[in-house]
Structure 1
Amino acid sequence: MTSHWQEELLHVVDSEPDQATVFTAVAAAAHALGFEHCAYGLRLPVPVTQPRTLLLNNYPLPWQQRYQAAGYLHIDPTVAHCRRSTAPLVWDESLFLQARPLWDEAQQHGLGVGWAKSHFDANGVGGMFTLARCADPISSSELQTNRLKMVWLTHVAHMALSRHITLQAAKPLPALTEREVEVLKWTADGKTTSEIADILELSDNTVNFHIKNSISKLGTTNKTAAAVRAALLGLFN
């Protein structure tokens, strides 16, 4: 049976409100599960060399400022874990052995207990959801009772918040033609210009024309980079 807080959250998400309203509802759901704070981080797949990470949380403001100023995002072991695994993670002192200042300062700001889980969608966009509170360690019985609800909340938060954040942060998708997409797909599969021309029954010049247009629209320097960027942007779906 769906809990009351789950019904409330789904009602808010289904009404498609603004980002702040969605996050307020997610925070209320986190509170219903016994956590004072929650955070959502979204890692965009492009640019490949320096992926952007966007953060949304209700942590104490001094901690938000300190976390950003100290660059803790780059050494946070919970973030590192969630980039490589979707397995839920309970905060533990041993996890922060290589980032002791982060652990100590988080506790000083009222964030001593936490649980985190990542979620990746079909377009390669990764989201990380964290539940946190000041005290009362997460017991095995609490995990057994609420684990599925916490995982469910992670999925709903990612579904609802990633949509809002990506719309605000991302530039409009390049308007590739159907033929340009087709040519780039074969390029991504390692086909040469001549091979693509044979497959699509086009001339080499026509294939190169489509590739040149795609490179320009995607803002890349060569056809390989154009194919990679198109794939990461979900233009092949």
Structure 2
Amino acid sequence: MNNWQEDLLRIVAIAPGEQQIFDEIIAAAHGLGFEYCSYGLRFPFPLSNPKVFTLFEYPRDWAERYREAGYVSTDPTVAHGRRTRTPVVWSDELFASAPQLWAEARSFGLRVGWAQSNLDANGVVGMLTLSRSGEALSASELEAKEGRMRWLVNIAHLALTQALLPRVCEIDERLTSRELEVLKWTADGKTSSEIGQILAISIDTVNFHVSNATTKLGAVNKTAAVVRAAMLGLLN
């Protein structure tokens, strides 16, 4: 395995903590020839108001301006990342729909950039952006570096999701194997009576396990418990 791959994989193994992980991502971005980077994560829960986390390594004034102006809602790179995992290179054409954003970004030295999104099996969406103030991204540079850039996208997503997930959806206790089994059958549309017959346990016992799982997951009812467990990847 190449050294750069080992360096990226090391990010996953370091002590939990999103800032420590992001510091490693920043170092990898610098090694790829970029001055700045950011990573945004959107969790699919709670369903009514999904949690969003954004980590910036930009000039402080620009990071504050970006948040203050709510540019995330008009940023064409974000819109692109929601539609496809194909990487995108910044250009005048890309930002034609957001000229104010493009002009302000350039005034802070963010003139050249590359971004790619990631969507995992649990519905967590992330996007890495690498940027700099100087030399444009040539075809030859992309050919030489894009493999490593794509690796960084995937490793960053995995590491940051693992670090932030406990803050997004706290579980009081680990679910037992029986609680998970009951939730899986519930997810398949089985009633308590049917689950009891399948598992050779009483309806009261089924309901007991459902109630415990619902409490541990911090859900309001068994339907919400099944949804949350599925989003957390517990039913895979």
Go from structure 1 to structure 2 and tell me whether the alpha carbon gap of 1:49 and 1:143 turns closer, same or farther (over 3 Å shift). Answer: same
Secondary structure at the residue paired with 2:196? helix
Moved over 6 A (4+): none
Q: Does structure 2 conserve the Cα–Cα contact (< 8 Å) formed by 1:6 and 1:29?
A: no
**Other-structure match for 1:2:** 2
Instruction: Give yes or no for the alignment of 1:37 onto 2:36.
Output: yes
Residue type of the partner of 1:45? P
Secondary structure at the residue paired with 1:110? coil
Residue type of the partner of 1:34? G
Deviation at 1:158, TM superposition (A): 2.5
Q: Does structure 2 conserve the Cα–Cα contact (< 8 Å) formed by 1:124 and 1:232?
A: yes
The whole-number CA distance in structure 1 between the counterparts of 2:116 and 2:51 is 19
Go from structure 1 to structure 2 and tell me whether the alpha carbon gap of 1:12 and 1:96 turns closer, same or farther (over 3 Å shift). Answer: closer
Q: CA RMSD in A?
A: 2.6
**Other-structure match for 2:192:** 193
**Other-structure match for 1:106:** 105
Deviation at 1:171, TM superposition (A): 2.4
Secondary structure at the residue paired with 2:130? strand
Residue correspondences, number: 236
**Other-structure match for 1:155:** 154
Deviation at 1:51, TM superposition (A): 1.4
**Other-structure match for 1:77:** 76
| Higher mean C-alpha deviation, range 123-132 or range 57-66 | 123-132
The whole-number CA distance in structure 2 between the counterparts of 1:13 and 1:215 is 30
Greater RCO, CA 8 A, separation 6+: 2
The whole-number CA distance in structure 2 between the counterparts of 1:103 and 1:122 is 33
The whole-number CA distance in structure 1 between the counterparts of 2:195 and 2:11 is 48
**Other-structure match for 1:26:** 25
Identity %: 52
Tell me, which stretches of 5 or more residues in structure 1 are unaligned?
A: none
| Higher mean C-alpha deviation, range 24-33 or range 160-169 | 160-169
**Other-structure match for 2:180:** 181
The whole-number CA distance in structure 1 between the counterparts of 2:7 and 2:178 is 45
The whole-number CA distance in structure 2 between the counterparts of 1:233 and 1:18 is 19
Go from structure 1 to structure 2 and tell me whether the alpha carbon gap of 1:178 and 1:10 turns closer, same or farther (over 3 Å shift). Answer: closer
Q: With structure 1 as the length reference, what TM-score do the two structures score?
A: 0.85
Deviation string, structure 1 residues 79-129 (Cα, Å, up to 9, x no partner): 232233221111223333333322222112111221111223444333211
Residue type of the partner of 2:55? L
Go from structure 1 to structure 2 and tell me whether the alpha carbon gap of 1:166 and 1:65 turns closer, same or farther (over 3 Å shift). Answer: same
Residue type of the partner of 1:23? F
Q: How does 1:40-189 map to 2 (within 5 A)?
A: 40-167=39-166, 170-172=169-171, 174-189=173-188
Go from structure 1 to structure 2 and tell me whether the alpha carbon gap of 1:99 and 1:174 turns closer, same or farther (over 3 Å shift). Answer: farther
Secondary structure at the residue paired with 2:93? helix
Q: Does structure 2 conserve the Cα–Cα contact (< 8 Å) formed by 1:183 and 1:196?
A: yes
